[in-house]
């Protein structure tokens, strides 16, 4: 190769190189263009290798020209690389573009179940009076569900008709939340002022007013000098906090094995105020079971029944919720029908 040929190769390669570099549309193509114009097997490299064989003057001039070509092509590569990078970035931003003027998609938030709302309201009435909330297992043993509560082995509540037994020796799905209160009394000395909300189970065919799985809140106070008057006063305070300031309570004798005496408690109707209406019939709504804790129950928990007395009462959450929200059928609480449940949105 002579100097003249070298000169024209450098000129051609500068033009061809710039075109190839500018034509690259990806980093791969740019890399290929770069190695085709500056790589070891390129015409440019051939010129460089030939430089040594030229006259001194030619070598100086062509060497400088080769340097210029190499620098020009390298900066063309750099420039194209920056352009490709910017284009990549632009594509990314485009793909990620958010239209800030579109209306937002409001997330659908759930709402509390009506039974949860009512349970919370009931429990709050008691916690405000200083009661503590206790909970216990839903699968209970015979002692806590029956024996300690003075329910003897031949009591009707023991038979398969009323209880749901687990297929493990002696275990039962608790039939009342009292079991949790027994556990609390076993674990601590009096005084106790506790309230126990929760799910309970009975062998029952569901209908408009019965469910095999339902919910209760029970209240228990044990201390020195607790009397029946304390029971009635507490029932009145609860009824007024729950159903309005002018509620009255009525107690009729009733039997529960775990209390003596026992009473069935009615509250004056919060709709007709006792006059009689569709909801109550005769002006009274039967709502609770109550009584003075049976001395045997206290002794079963290790309490001295000569020194301590107590009252207890319980009520069904479904029953209260039906009254409060005029729900005609208890089964609606468990159906899971969104049209029913969404009506309680924003209630609590
Ligand atoms: C009902 C019956 C009642 C109790 C619950 C109770 C709990 C202990 C000791 C004594 Cl630990 N009694 N609870 C007492 C009387 C009635 O509720 O079926 N209510 C709807």
DSSP 3-state assignment of 262?
strand
Predicted pLDDT at 160: 63
Predicted pLDDT at 135: 96
Cβ–Cβ contacts within 10 Å for residue 12, how many? 12
pLDDT, one tens digit per residue, over 59-74 is 999 999 999 999 999 9
Please state whether the peptide bond connecting residue 261 to the residue before it is cis, i.e. omega within 30 degrees of 0. yes
Ligand 1 contacts (CB < 6 A) are 178, 181-182, 218, 220, 256, 258-259, 288-291, 293, 297, 312-316
CA dihedral 339, 343, 345, 348 (to 10 degrees): -140
Is the pLDDT at 163 greater than 80, yes or no?
A: yes
Contact present, 116 and 150 (Cβ < 8 Å):
no
Distance in Å, CA 315 to ligand 1 centroid: 8
Ligand 1 atom closest to the Cα of residue 179 is 11
Structure tokens at 61: 């001039």
Distance in Å, CA 170 to ligand 1 centroid: 22
Q: How far is CA 262 from CA 161, 232, 235, in A?
A: 23, 12, 14
Mean pLDDT (whole number) for 308-317 = 97
Q: Which of 148, 258, 287, 322 is the best mutation target for the ligand 1 pocket, counting ligand atoms within 8 Å of the beta carbon and taking the most?
A: 258
Contact present, 58 and 1 (Cβ < 8 Å):
no
pLDDT range class, residue 296, cuts 50, 70, 90: very high
Ligand 1 atom closest to the Cα of residue 258 is 10
Distance in Å, CA 188 to ligand 1 centroid: 20
Beta-carbon contacts of residue 109 (< 8 Å; ≥ 6 apart): none
The residue whose CA is least distant from atom 6 of ligand 1 is 312
Structure tokens at 158: 């023991």
Distance in Å, CA 344 to ligand 1 centroid: 29
Q: What is the enclosing helix (H) or strand (E) of 69?
A: helix 56-95
d(CA 324, CA 319): 9
Distance in Å, CA 203 to ligand 1 centroid: 18
Contact present, 179 and 145 (Cβ < 8 Å):
yes
The residue whose CA is least distant from atom 20 of ligand 1 is 315
Contact present, 218 and 313 (Cβ < 8 Å):
yes
170 dihedral zone (left: phi>0; alpha: psi -120 to 50; beta):
left
d(CA 158, CA 151): 8
Is the pLDDT at 157 greater than 80, yes or no?
A: no
Contact present, 261 and 253 (Cβ < 8 Å):
yes
Ligand 1 atom closest to the Cα of residue 262 is 15
Ligand 1 atom closest to the Cα of residue 314 is 17
Mean pLDDT comparison of 52-61, 202-211, 293-302, highest-scoring range: 293-302
Distance in Å, CA 257 to ligand 1 centroid: 9
Predicted pLDDT at 1: 82
d(CA 213, CA 200): 6
Show the beta-strand stretches assigned E in the chain. Answer: 132-133, 139-140, 164-165, 172-173, 192-201, 213-223, 249-254, 259-268, 284-293, 309-316
Cβ–Cβ contacts within 10 Å for residue 268, how many? 20
Q: Which of 314, 317, 320, 330 is the best mutation target for the ligand 1 pocket, counting ligand atoms within 8 Å of the beta carbon and taking the most?
A: 314
The residue whose CA is least distant from atom 4 of ligand 1 is 313
pLDDT, one tens digit per residue, over 15-41 is 999 999 999 999 999 999 999 999 999
Distance in Å, CA 314 to ligand 1 centroid: 5
Distance in Å, CA 128 to ligand 1 centroid: 21
The residue whose CA is least distant from atom 15 of ligand 1 is 290
Q: Which residues of 204-224 are buried (b: 16+ CB within 10 A; e: fewer)?
A: eeeeeeebebbbbbbbbbbee
d(CA 176, CA 155): 15
pLDDT, one tens digit per residue, over 183-216 is 999 999 999 999 999 999 999 899 999 999 999 9
Rounded to 5°, the CA angle 66-69-73 comes to 140
Mean pLDDT (whole number) for 228-257 = 96
Distance in Å, CA 5 to ligand 1 centroid: 112
């Amino acid at each position: 190769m002579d100097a003249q040929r070298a000169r024209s190769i450098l000129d051609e390669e500068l033009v061809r190189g710039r075109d190839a570099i500018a034509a690259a549309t990806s980093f791969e193509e740019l890399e290929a263009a770069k190695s085709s114009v500056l790589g070891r097997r390129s015409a440019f490299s051939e010129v460089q290798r030939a430089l040594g064989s030229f006259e001194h003057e030619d070598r100086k001039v062509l060497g400088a020209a080769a340097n210029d070509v190499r620098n020009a092509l390298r900066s063309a590569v750099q420039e194209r690389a920056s352009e490709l990078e910017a284009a990549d970035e632009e594509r990314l931003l485009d793909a990620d573009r958010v239209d800030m003027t579109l209306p937002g998609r409001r997330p659908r938030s759930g709402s509390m179940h009506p039974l949860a709302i009512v349970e919370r309201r009931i429990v709050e009435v008691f916690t405000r009076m200083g009661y503590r909330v206790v909970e216990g297992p839903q699968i209970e043993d015979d002692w806590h569900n029956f024996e300690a509560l003075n329910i003897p082995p031949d009591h009707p509540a023991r038979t398969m008709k009323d209880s749901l037994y687990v297929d493990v020796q002696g275990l039962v799905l608790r039939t009342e939340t009292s079991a949790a209160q027994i556990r609390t009394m076993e674990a601590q000395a009096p005084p106790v002022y506790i309230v126990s909300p929760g799910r309970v189970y009975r062998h029952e065919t569901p209908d408009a007013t019965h469910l095999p799985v339902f919910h209760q809140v029970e209240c228990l106070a044990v201390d020195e000098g607790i009397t029946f008057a304390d029971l009635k006063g507490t029932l009145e305070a609860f009824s007024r906090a729950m159903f309005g300031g002018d509620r009255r309570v009525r107690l009729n004798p009733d039997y529960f094995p775990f209390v003596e005496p026992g009473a069935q408690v009615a509250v004056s109707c919060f709709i007709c105020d006792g006059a009689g209406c569709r909801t109550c019939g005769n002006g009274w709504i039967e709502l609770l079971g109550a009584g003075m804790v049976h001395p045997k129950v206290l002794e079963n928990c290790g309490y001295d029944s000569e020194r301590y007395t107590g009252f207890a009462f319980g009520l069904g959450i479904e029953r209260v919720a039906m009254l409060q929200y005029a729900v005609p059928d208890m089964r609606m609480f468990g159906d899971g029908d969104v049209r029913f449940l969404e009506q309680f949105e924003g209630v609590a």
